A and B are shown apart, each in its own frame.
Chain A
Amino acid sequence: MELLNQITQFVISGLATGAIYALIGLSFAIIFNSTGIINFAQGEFVMLGGVFTIFALNVLKLPILLAIVVAVVATTAVGLAFERLAIRPLKNATPLSLIIITIGASILIRGVVMLLWGKDTQVLPPFSGNTPLEIAGATLLPQHLWIFGVTVLVIVGCRIFFHHTISGKAMRACSFNRKAANLVGISVGRMVLLSFVISSALGSLAGVIIAPLTMTAYDVGVMLGLKGFCAAIMGGMGSGLGTVLGGLILGTLESLGAGLISSGYKDAIAFLILLLILFLRPQGLFKKGETERV
Chain B
Amino acid sequence: MKSDKLKFLIFCLVVLVLPLPLAKGYLTNVLIFVGINSMLALGLNLLLGYAGQISLGQAAFFGLGAYGSGVLTTKYALDPWLSMVLVALVVAGFAFAIGFPVLRLKGHYLAMATLGVGVIAHIAFNETIDLTGGPSGLSGIPNLSIAGFSFDSDLKNYYLVWSFALVVILLCLNLVNSRYGRGLRAIHDSEVAARVMGVNARLMKVQIFTLSAFISAIAGSLYCHVMTFISPTSFGFNISVELLTMVVIGGLGSVYGSILGALLLTLLPELLRTFQDYDIVVYGLLLVCMTIYLPGGMVRGIPALVRRLVPARSGNA
Contacts and interface: CB of A to CB of B under 8 A. Distances in A.
Contacts of A101: 287-288, 291-292
Given A107-B284, A111-B284, A264 B127 contact: yes
Interface stretch (B19-27, B78-86, B115-123): B115-123
A89 B292 contact: yes
Nearest to A218: B280
Given A97-B248, A222-B237, A112 B116 contact: no
A275 interface: yes
Given A267-B119, A275-B113, A282-B109, A112 B281 contact: yes
B192 interface: yes
Contacts of A66: none
B277 interface: yes
Contacts of A112: 281
Interface string A79-97: 0000000100110011111
A268 B287 contact: no
Interface stretch (B4-12, B100-108, B144-152): B100-108
Contacts of B54: 96, 99
A55 interface: no
B112 A274 contact: yes
Interface in B123-139: 123-124, 126-127
Contacts of B288: 86, 101, 104-105, 108
Contacts of B241: 103
A10 interface: no
Contact of B292 (A86, A222, A226): A86
A225 to B, nearest CB: 11
B109 A100 contact: no
Given A115-B277, A229-B112, A282-B105, A100 B284 contact: no
Contacts of B127: 262, 264-265, 268
Interface residues of B, number: 42
Nearest to B193: A294
A110 B280 contact: yes
Contacts of B291: 90, 93, 97, 100-101, 104
Interface in A29-82: 32, 38
Contacts of A94: 295
Contacts of A103: 241, 244-245, 287
Interface centre among B116, B117, B248, B283, by most chain A C-beta atoms within 10 angstroms, is B116
A104 B119 contact: no
A233 to B, nearest CB: 6
B292 A111 contact: no
Contacts of B286: 104
Interface centre among B54, B120, B249, by most chain A C-beta atoms within 10 angstroms, is B120
Interface centre among B101, B120, B245, B291, by most chain A C-beta atoms within 10 angstroms, is B291
> What secondary structure prevails in chain A residues at the interface with B?
helix
B48 to A, nearest CB: 8
Contact of B119 (A93, A96, A268): A268
Nearest to A90: B292
A278 interface: yes
A80 B112 CA distance: 26
A107 B112 contact: no
Contacts of A93: 291, 295
> What secondary structure prevails in chain B residues at the interface with A?
helix
A129 to B, nearest CB: 35
Given A93-B295, A104-B287, A222-B237, A278 B123 contact: no
Contacts of A229: 112
A272 interface: yes
A148 interface: no
A292 B109 CA distance: 15
Given A90-B292, A93-B295, A282-B105, A271 B120 contact: yes
B287 A265 contact: no
Contacts of A271: 115-116, 119-120
A152 interface: no
Nearest to A105: B288
Contacts of A292: 192
B105 A278 contact: yes
Given A271-B120, A274-B112, A111 B283 contact: yes
Contact of B108 (A38, A104, A222, A262): A38
B285 interface: yes
B111 interface: yes
A265 B127 CA distance: 8
Contact of A108 (B48, B244, B281): B281
Contact of A278 (B113, B124, B278, B292): B113
Contacts of A267: 119, 123
Interface string B263-297: 00000000000000110110111111001100100
A134 B310 CA distance: 75
11 contacts: A86-B288, A100-B245, A103-B244, A110-B284, A112-B281, A268-B127, A271-B115, A274-B113, A278-B112, A282-B105, A282-B109
Given A108-B288, A279-B104, 9 more contacts: A38-B111, A93-B291, A97-B248, A100-B245, A100-B291, A101-B291, A103-B287, A109-B284, A267-B119
Interface of B: 48, 54, 101-102, 104-105, 107-109, 111-113, 115-117, 119-120, 123-124, 126-127, 192, 237, 241, 244-245, 248-249, 252, 277-278, 280-281, 283-288, 291-292, 295
Which 8 residue pairs across A and B have the least CB separation, nearest first? A108-B284, A104-B287, A107-B284, A111-B280, A111-B281, A271-B116, A104-B288, A268-B123
